[in-house]
Structures are given as structure tokens and as C-alpha cells.
Structure 1
Amino acid sequence: MTPREKGNAATRALMGAAPSERLAAAAASNTFGADIAGYAIDHVFGDIWTRDGLDQARRSLITMTVMVALRQPHEFGLHMNFALDHGMPLREIEEALIQMLPYVGFPAISSVLPIATTIIAERGLDKTAGYAGHRGLL
């Protein structure tokens, strides 16, 4: 299996067919950014995400912690969805956010709460009547 085939298989398993196909099409497009998409497929997904030792949910959890520290809520949301898709309980994601508090700070955690709230609502994961999510910490 070529690195591209391995990476494409990994992205399909992680994010589903449609997003995986969009990424593969971007890599094959010969347009600006095509090489970046190709490196992502071949190396990030083909080399790193397919290693033994961690399951997909835990790899997403680790990636979520990095995205919080970098204040990248969109990427955090992608990996929160991936982790939930691969069986990670919502409670573990919340515990990871709590664990990060003393290391990255409240503002960094607050930056991802709106996207987490949207995901929780879209997936129907909070059954509390009237739950409207949290804007952040204030």
C-alpha cells in the first residue's frame, strides 16, 4: 500500500467518506495548497494516525488538547467529533478540559466551549431541559 493509499484509508476511518474524499481531491488538484493536503494525507494520517499504541479516540483527545493550547476552536471541534465518533465518552472530553485548566488557563478553555456546546447540542448529548450551552466561563 502506498503512503497515499494508507493515508486515504486512515482519513476515511477517522472522518468518514465525504471529508476524506474532499481532502484527497484537494491533494490531487494541482492548485495552491495541494502539496500541503498531500503531506497531511501521507504523513499526518498515513504515518502518524496509523501507528500502533493509541486508538483513534485517544489520538483525537491528544489533538484536542493541543488545539486548546493553540486556541484553534475549529480544529478542536473536528477532533471532538472524531473522538465522539470513535466512542470516547463526553465525560472524558470534559475531564480533559478540566485537566488542562492549570496548564493552558481559563481563557484557552473558554475559547473552545462555544464549539463544544454546539457539538453537544447537535448530537443531543445533553438531555437537561432548557440547555442552551455555555458562552464560556463568564
Structure 2
Amino acid sequence: MNKELFDKGMKIRREVLGDRAVDTAMKNADDFFMPFQEFVTQYCWGEVWGRPGLERKTRSLLNLAMIAALNRPSELKLHIKGALNNGVTKEEMVEIFLQVAVYAGVPAGLECFRLARDVFSQEAI
């Protein structure tokens, strides 16, 4: 493991997803799952999210669309929260999820709206 990239990734991961989400993920990682947490933190958050080519808001917009199209509801809820932290508005999410409905199917779009509404109510937005 590259400690420098891991530390960079952990910083970005906490800034985007929040301490509670990251602390829960790390606390729940046993010996079997910890290598995956290290991998995600180092490569996803440190290497890719840490690149200068796109702003975090843009990365969040992309993530919402891709995760929604892949039908990953748990990750989508997490990234909806992260997108809000990165400045994505509810209005922008409406547009993203309508686009998802057209290109990935209406059921996928419907699930996006349901999950986002849940997150908005939990976060009092």
C-alpha cells in the first residue's frame, strides 16, 4: 500500500462522504474486508478523486449518473450525500436522474428519485 496515496485518499474521502460514513466503513472492515477498504481509499479516492483534471462537483455528477445506471442503491445514497457536500444542487440531481431514466430506464430513474428524497429528508434538505 502506498501510504501517501492512502492518506490523501482518506482526506478526500472524509471531505466528500463525511467522517461518520468513513468511520463506519473502516470500523466494519474485518481482516477479510480491510484490503478492499485500503484499495478503494488509495486508488479511488487518492489516485482518481485526487487528480487535478476535474472539480469534485463534476466527479460527483459523473458518479451519480454512473452509479444510478449500474443500479447500486447503497452506493448511490452515499454519493448523493457526497454530491451535496460537493455543491451539487437538488435541481441538478433532478436533471441527472431524468437523464438516467431516459438512458438507463424509467425504473432506474424512479429509484434515483426515491433514494434522493430519502437522503434529503435524513439530511433535512
Instruction: Give the structure, 1 or 2, with the largest relative contact order (CA under 8 Å, sep 6 or more).
Output: 2
Is the shorter-chain TM-score for this pair beyond 0.5, marking a shared fold?
A: yes
1:135 matched residue in structure 2: none
1:28-43 matched pairs, under 5 angstroms: 31-43=31-43
Distance 2:100 2:21 in 1: 29
Question: Which SS does the other structure have where 1:2 is aligned?
Answer: helix
The count of corresponding residues between Structure 1 and Structure 2 is: 123
User: 1:78 and 1:56, CA in 2 relative to 1: closer, same or farther beyond 3 A?
Assistant: same
Q: Is the 8 A contact 1:57 1:83 kept in 2?
A: yes
The alignment's TM-score, normalised by the length of structure 2, stands at 0.85
Distance 1:18 1:87 in 2: 19
The alignment's TM-score, normalised by the length of structure 1, stands at 0.78
Q: Kindly provide the amino acid, as one letter, of the partner of residue 104 in structure 1.
A: A
Distance 1:32 1:109 in 2: 34
Distance 2:46 2:37 in 1: 12
Q: Give unpaired runs (5+ residues) of structure 2.
A: none
The structure with the larger Rg is: 1
2:88 matched residue in structure 1: 88
Q: RMSD value over aligned CA atoms?
A: 1.9
Q: Percent identity?
A: 25
Q: Give unpaired runs (5+ residues) of structure 1.
A: 126-138
